[in-house]
Amino acid sequence: MSLMLDEIFEQPAVLEKTLAAENEKYKKLGSFLRQKDIDLVVIVARGSSDNAALFGRYLIEVTCGIPVSLAAPSVYTLYDAKLNLSRALVVGVSQSGEGVDINLVLESAKKAGATTLGITNEAASSMASIVDETLLIHAGRERSVAATKTYTGQMLHFYMLASALGGKDQDVEQIPNFAHLSLELKAKVAELVDRYVFMENCVVVGRGMNYGNSYELALKLMETCYVVAERFSSADFFHGPLAIVERRFPVVMFAPTGVTQKSGIELLHRLHELGADCLSITNDIEISKLSPNSLTLSPEIDEFLSPIPFIVPAQLFAALLSEAKGINPDAPRSLEKVTKTI
């Protein structure tokens, strides 16, 4: 079994450990942040961390009512722009804490008067020495190049951060168990992989709380399976990209119950008319029945809690597909675990 698969299966324990270890820190952080009168959150990240940040944007804006910007590091590192961040919270997200451009943005933000936080898996990282507070993912060393347990750990931190900022508390204690139940889909995923072993191109679709997951699965398919994977919101997909779909073209959908269900069903009907090969990751019975292929999770999973349990079978799909293609998912060509850019 690959290291990637091992680390996928470690996720429920990592999530439980992170919740237990960081809970008290967030209680103190919440009191501190509410005194700061934060009116803007800026998140800076790259790669899988940026996909977790995209989820964080949706969660914080919806539950806290605070605008969130996903920083373009080049604005700071290449153009040396000076932004007014005196009432901003700037959050760096990096599994290693050694992303040069991420840390340069954090340093610039501190000089501009921002409050800074770092979400990382490394307590002794460069990021930890820069930020006002370090929020740790208690994942242990992640040995596979493809991020899995640090990605879900980062998403978990955004739930806790949203709560600290005054947002509605989500029942996050359920997430480790939901992730554990998702792992039980491995046999079903293995059956589906044979269908897609020759896949060279696909589209991944998600919306709302699962939009970041569409980016993350597309990234996993590109880096571990060498599949050219585009990713779209299910709403954006109707605005032009739908033209690339023809008979048997693979489309993977994240389609939970909740407010995005309607647009998911509309897209499925249209894809059926076009003869697309659809694979839905869902906990909605109607969507499951409409999909030629589906990975169906518990209907008890609320839309707001769905991103972590929904990405788990997607990670399994990428890891098993990579092996079926004869590729080592732990060591993708041309890639290293820590990428340093400016």
Q: Answer for the pair 216, 55: CB distance below 8 angstroms, yes or no.
A: no
Q: Answer for the pair 231, 215: CB distance below 8 angstroms, yes or no.
A: yes
In CATH terms, the fold of domain 176-324 is: Rossmann fold (3.40.50)
pLDDT band at 335 (very low <50, low <70, confident <90, very high): low
CATH superfamily, region 3-170: Glucose-6-phosphate isomerase like protein; domain 1 (3.40.50.10490)
Domain boundaries, the chain: 3-170, 176-324
Type of residue at 295: L
pTM for the model? 0.95
3-170 and 176-324 agree in CATH topology: yes
Both tokens assigned to 119: 């979400």
Q: Is the pLDDT of residue 83 over 60?
A: yes
pLDDT at 201: 96
Q: Answer for the pair 90, 105: CB distance below 8 angstroms, yes or no.
A: yes
| Per-residue pLDDT tens digits for 144-202 | 999 999 999 999 999 999 999 987 888 999 999 999 999 999 999 999 999 999 999 99
